[in-house]
Amino acid sequence: RRVLEAAKRANQTGHFIWMGSDSWGSKISPVLHLEEVAEGSVTILPKRVSVKGFDRYFSSRTLDNNRRNIWFAEFWEENFHCKLSRHALKKGSSIKKCTNRERIGQDSSYEQEGKVQFVIDAVYAMGHALHNMHKNLCPGKVGLCPRMDPVDGVELLKYIRNVNFSGIAGTPVTFNENGDAPGRYDIYQYQIRNSTPEYKVIGQWTDHLHLKVESMLWPGGGSQLPSSICSLPCKPGERKKLVKGIPCCWHCERCDGYQYQLDEFHCKRCHFNERPNENHTSCTPIPIIKLEWSSPWAVVPVFIAIVGIVATLFVVITFVRYNDTPIVKASGRELSYVLLTGIFLCYATTFLMIAEPDLSTCSLRRIFLGLGMSISYAALLTKTNRIYRIFEQGKKSVSAPRFISPASQLVITFSLISLQLVGVCIWFIVDPSHSVIDYEDQRTTNPHFARGILKCDISDLSLICLLGYSMLLMVTCTVYAIKTRGVPETFNEAKPIGFTMYTTCIVWLAFIPIFFGTSQSAEKMYIQTTTLTISVSLSASVSLGMLYMPKVYIILFHPEQNVPKRKRSLKAVVTAATMSNKFSQKGGFRPNGEAKSELCENLETQ
């Protein structure tokens, strides 16, 4: 009853379904004023019948004829709400003194106790056991024989377990090997129908269960069977974590992250190239991604590269067509074609960087990513070095410096380029090229967003080494461009080359923080590839725009400026260049590129 009261105080009415033993049975007292809390409770009572003659016998018992029962007087006071002793009465109490004229069943309510038949059967079981024991141990003797004096309790228990007789209610009285009598129970449920509470028989147990489920009602009047479990079954992708000491109770723990449900009690991590499915019951391959041609990250670099290639081819065609004109000769035809080849390769590298990585693509990336820039900057370095040496020599002597002829310039250029190729060859020998699938770069916390990246085996450090030589050529070329910044505009290409290198340095200084600053980004592959390809294309575009577009403009739209000038000896040209350098602040010397063209034309013929 107190448990029911506690449930009511905790506002748990209807939350629990109570199971009561035969001590609850069908009594009213445990549920009085707690009917709603106890609704739906299931109780049991041993199957019983009223013993005929017992009611007549018991109702005739009085204090005078039942003195052998020492507890009968206490029962009398409790049953008739009186006291046998006058001294026990308290002043002002409503309890009266017993008169011994009270009668059971007349002056009080009476109902036969349900366990009367079991008490009678228990007495008979003891009698049958003693009788059988006496027959076996004391055959033909009256009273106890020495073998039963005293009675061995262990031996008597064996005879009790072996009794087999018909009880007072006509049911057999036997015991199993554990000493238990066959169970025969009526099953009750406390129900409230039309606001009227009652105990209703819903089944019985005699060797097996007979239950009338359709007769059962649950809290609230529903007929839906409630769940009778300690823990609900775990959902797919959850493992059971057993409660210590209670094997039928557990907590459900989800297999989180990259784990999947191996069995009922264990989770296991998926293989490195797999991720769990949506409900974490198995593993599926991680999707493989690469930079697609249709991606916005690829469209912009490809567009720039196509425009650059078209512009480069246009310049090459123009130079080939006007190959013998003074402007083309003055620009140094051989180095110009080498430089334009490098510019073309820089643009073409974009397509290699976006193409699907495989053995051939990755090998071509290693070769051409740094080769195009090396060719460009080697040619520019050779040009700036040539200008610097000419004017430095002019300060000391009127004789021309060594190795300034076109053939010498080509040898120097290709020597510089060959260093890049040698480095790439060594790289191929030490670490052969191949494509890899990187599953760690985009292994996100949520497996749903995990991706494997198909890429070439070029790490950030390898990329630095690959571009490092080109950067060295670029920096060296920039240094020479700074040294020749004082050369008059009328002499060769020192100023355009200088502007080209300054702008290129700015481009690559912007590239470094963008490229390496996005190493932890989820879009790393896209950002770094796009940044690299655009930076290479912009470098090529700067060289193409500043060095060759003005020449093409003069060739096509101002042919009157593209005419041969009067030639002089190399000694005279160098002297004129040196003197022009000294007096350049006074307005310049021989405008319209006369000295420039004349100098280069004379050097080409040497």
Which tokens is 482 given? 């700074």
Specify the amino acid at residue 197: P
CB 347 within 8 A of CB 537: yes
Fold for 296-605, please state it: Rhopdopsin 7-helix transmembrane proteins (1.20.1070)
- CA-nearest of 376, 368, 413, 387 to 508 is 376
SS3 content of the chain, % helix, strand, coil (to 5): 50, 15, 35
Q: Which of 129, 115, 202 is nearest to 164 (CA)?
A: 129
Angle 157-159-163 from CA coordinates, rounded to 5° = 120
Q: What is the pLDDT of residue 415?
A: 92
pLDDT score at 354: 92
Closest CA to 373 of 337, 407, 346: 346
pLDDT tens figures, 259-311: 999 999 999 999 999 999 999 999 999 999 988 999 999 999 999 999 999 99
pLDDT at 375: 92
d(CA 597, CA 333): 12
Q: How far apart are CA 386 and CA 402, in angstroms?
A: 9
CA distances from 57 to 120, 123, 271, 325, 420 (A): 14, 17, 83, 147, 123
Q: What is the reported pLDDT for 277?
A: 92
Residue range(s) of every CATH 1.20.1070 domain in the chain:
296-605
Q: Give 204's strand partners.
A: 186, 210
pLDDT in the model for residue 606? 41
The answer to whether residues 73 and 63 touch, using CB atoms and an 8 Å cutoff, is: yes
Ranges under pLDDT 70 in the chain: 88, 91-92, 221, 228, 393-401, 403, 486-494, 519-520, 522, 565-606
Q: Provide the residue count of the chain.
A: 606
